[in-house]
Amino acid sequence: EKMLFEKKIENDILPALKNDCIKTYIQPKVDMRTGRIVGGEALVRWQREDGSMVYPDEFIPVIEKNGYVLDVDDYMWDKVCYYIKQLEKEGKTPVPISINVSRMHVYQEDFIDRIKKITSKYDINPKLIPLEITESAFTSEESSLYRKIKSLQDCGYRFSMDDFGSGSSLGMLKDEHVDEVKIDKTFVDDIATDKGRILLKNVIQMIRALGIDMIAEGVETKEQADFLVNNGCIYAQGFYYYRPMP
């Protein structure tokens, strides 16, 4: 059953891209002190012809195996840059909208060119599309990833370490590769326990002392939001504030 499911995803993904079945959702990021929207994250959705939705946790891991994730990411980046440009044309001041960068890109020699091509196509400031890379990607292929990150940072792009706390890349926080850390939902959930609170409080303190920006993911309750703000993490993304929206 699993093999059939994966095969179907493999067969259907490129036609889905072509037929506009791949949708760009955005989840706002807020300043918890004021509720003001300070940014967003682009999240992919796949709407099947019958109206049903396929979630990225189901299909991204499958298309990461065969490389089609590169096509999906390119598509998402393009949509986000187009949207930002559209806002600018309407005379609005857009907030940054982060894009997800699959670990697969880390291995691609043309990763840097692909990113640059899209921002120059729409002529937008690289700061408006922070790049989120999951923490676990940093543990493999480190040196080539660092090189690519550095070269993009020199051109004004920002990097956010996604899912922080789910892998084990503490060491790399001391280098200059990370502009922002996204504290994983598991940390936020753990404020329910004494030890969880100690851990989260000290993680926040450490990131602050290192001078790295931070945002908490998966904030679902007022209690979590209050704890984070009281301990010095003021930005969040989570259902308590907004769900991803088309």
Binding residues (CB under 5 A) for Ca ion: these are 100, 132, 162-163, 217
Round to whole Å and give the CA distance between 131 and 133: 6
**Is 57 one of the binding residues for ligand C2E (CB under 6 A)?**
yes
Q: Is 22 left (phi over 0), alpha (psi -120 to 50) or beta?
A: beta
Round to whole Å and give the CA distance between 200 and 204: 6
Q: Which of 118, 122, 157, 162 binds ligand C2E (CB under 6 A)?
A: 162
Closer residue to ligand C2E (CB): 207 or 225:
225
Closer residue to Ca ion (CB): 73 or 163:
163
Q: Which of 69, 118, 191, 225 binds ligand C2E (CB under 6 A)?
A: 69
Q: Which of 39, 54, 163, 227 binds ligand C2E (CB under 6 A)?
A: 163
Q: Is 100 exposed, middle or buried (0-12, 13-18, 19+ CB in 10 A)?
A: buried
Residue 186 Cα distances to 70, 105, 113, angstroms: 28, 26, 34
**Is 102 one of the binding residues for ligand C2E (CB under 6 A)?**
yes
State which of positions 207-226 bind ligand C2E (CB under 6 A): 218-220
Pairing verdict, β 22-31 and 235-237: antiparallel
**Is 246 one of the binding residues for ligand C2E (CB under 6 A)?**
no
Give the other-Cβ count within 10 Å of 192's Cβ.
11
**Is 190 one of the binding residues for ligand C2E (CB under 6 A)?**
no
Using CB under 6 A, count the residues that bind ligand C2E: 22
Name the residue with the smallest CB distance to Ca ion: 132
Bridge partners, residue 26, by sequence: 42, 245
- Could you tell me the maximum CA-CA distance found in the chain, to the nearest angstrom? 51
Closer residue to ligand C2E (CB): 69 or 129:
69
The partner in contact with residue 69, picked from Ca ion, ligand C2E, none with C-beta cut-offs of 5 to 8 angstroms by kind, is: ligand C2E
Round to whole Å and give the CA distance between 41 and 244: 8
**Is 90 one of the binding residues for ligand C2E (CB under 6 A)?**
no
Q: How big is the CA angle at 217 (ends 74 and 120), to the nearest 5 degrees?
A: 25
Closer residue to ligand C2E (CB): 64 or 88:
64
Sign for the pseudo-dihedral over CA of 159, 57, 117, 86: negative
**Is 130 one of the binding residues for ligand C2E (CB under 6 A)?**
no
Closer residue to ligand C2E (CB): 200 or 219:
219
Binding site for ligand C2E (CB under 6 A): 27, 43-44, 55-57, 60, 69, 73, 76, 100, 102, 132, 162-163, 218-220, 237-239, 244
